[in-house]
Amino acid sequence: MADKFDIEQVRKDFPILDQQVNGAPLVYFDNAATTQKPQMVIDALNHYYTRDNANIHRGLHTLAERATTGYELTRKKLKDFLNAESTDQIIFTSGTTAGINLVAQTYGRANFSKGDVILVSNLEHHSNIVPWQMIAEEKGAEVRVIPVDEAGVLDMKAYVELLDTNRVKFVAVNHVSNAIGTINPIAYIIAQAHRVGAKVLIDGAQSVAHFEIDVQALDIDFLAFSAHKLFGPTGVGVLYGKRALLEAMPPYQGGGEMIKEVSFAGTTYNELPYKFEAGTPNIADVYAFGFALDYLKSLPKNAVWEQEKALLDYATEQLMQIDGLRIVGQAPEKIAVVSFVIDGVHPQDIGVLLDKFGVAIRTGHHCAQPLMARYELVGTCRASFAFYNTKSEIDLFVKALKRTITMLS
């Protein structure tokens, strides 16, 4: 791809964008739920199933060797993508939720005890709340909450006070809020947690598609994210962990691949990362995910962030001119997400009618009910942008939104 960011060429790389929905051009503003896939990812899936399909690692025939090579190449690409020390620290899961549960049920079960405190934030997705509640209940630990202010910014003073006055063993926070787009200061959060000896898991589901994450520079203990929010296939997740932590953790699931030797007298477990990858993995989608990483690498440096920042600024400016519209979450540091409510109108009604105009947004509580409760809302409308979106699409969205509001008034 050329050094200059060519939006027209980029849009051609994503075939799903070129279609009509309900008689109108598709405007896809639901990227925080899942991103669309470039043609090279779609082609990679087709290639795998038509040329290389086989089970991996132990087969000696050509197809098995090709499938294994493609699968493990994605692990190598992820090591480079995150600047991890080793491919052994890259564990494939089924998604962010699975990665968080793996850490909660292995690290948590081995290390938490009665009276320990696990900190989560008021910005979390349910998948970074419920697993910690489950293990806390089992171990007699306690989950406490880092508060968020009216703008959607975490209260770092309260965070430090929580660290200093409680038996905090673990901190689980998202890098970016899926519901309102806030970018959290994870470098500070991690450093403060480490100051008191706590470990940190970062939910990177909403951040990895928008800017680079250097796990070594940030000193991240655990990072979980999903391929489908990074322009790759569904059903694939990644868990990164520091080697010493992963080696000390017991296996999560038992079965094939995660073992070294099995007898009725006992079982010895495989080395990293396979200790945590029981059973036949999602080979095809892992293989294709590697091509999503290749695509992102081909884009001009900083182009993604600059394009999305321009879209966020423009959409915010246009939406704030609509009477009765209130943007929920206006943190100084945000990704390209605008969450909003309209006075006297239910978010779901807006979402249904916008679809009639070809506009796809997300409505509801966004699996962040505690955050919605903080704002005394049942839900919001959420428009989330990717680098393949345009200002002209925002114009279509705003026009459709105004018509929708008129219809519902």
For 153-220, give the DSSP string: -B-HHHHHHHHHHS-EEEEEEESB-TTT-BBP-HHHHHHHHHHTT-EEEEE-TTTTTTS---TTTTT-
Dihedral, CA of residue 162, residue 166, residue 172 and residue 175, to nearest 10: 20
Catalytic residue among 24, 64, 367, 377: 367
Position 297: which residue type? K
The question of whether 367 is a catalytic residue gets the answer yes
Cα–chain-centroid distance for residue 393?
24
Distance CA 62, CA 345 (A): 60
For residue 241, which of 141, 69, 92, 130 has the smallest C-alpha distance?
92
Measure the N-to-C terminal CA separation of the chain; round to a whole number of Å: 47
**Does an H or E element contain 402, and which?**
helix 391-408
Distance CA 395, CA 299 (A): 25
Sheet bearing 199-203, strands edge to edge: 90-93, 237-241, 222-226, 199-203, 168-174, 117-121, 142-146
Catalytic residues: 367
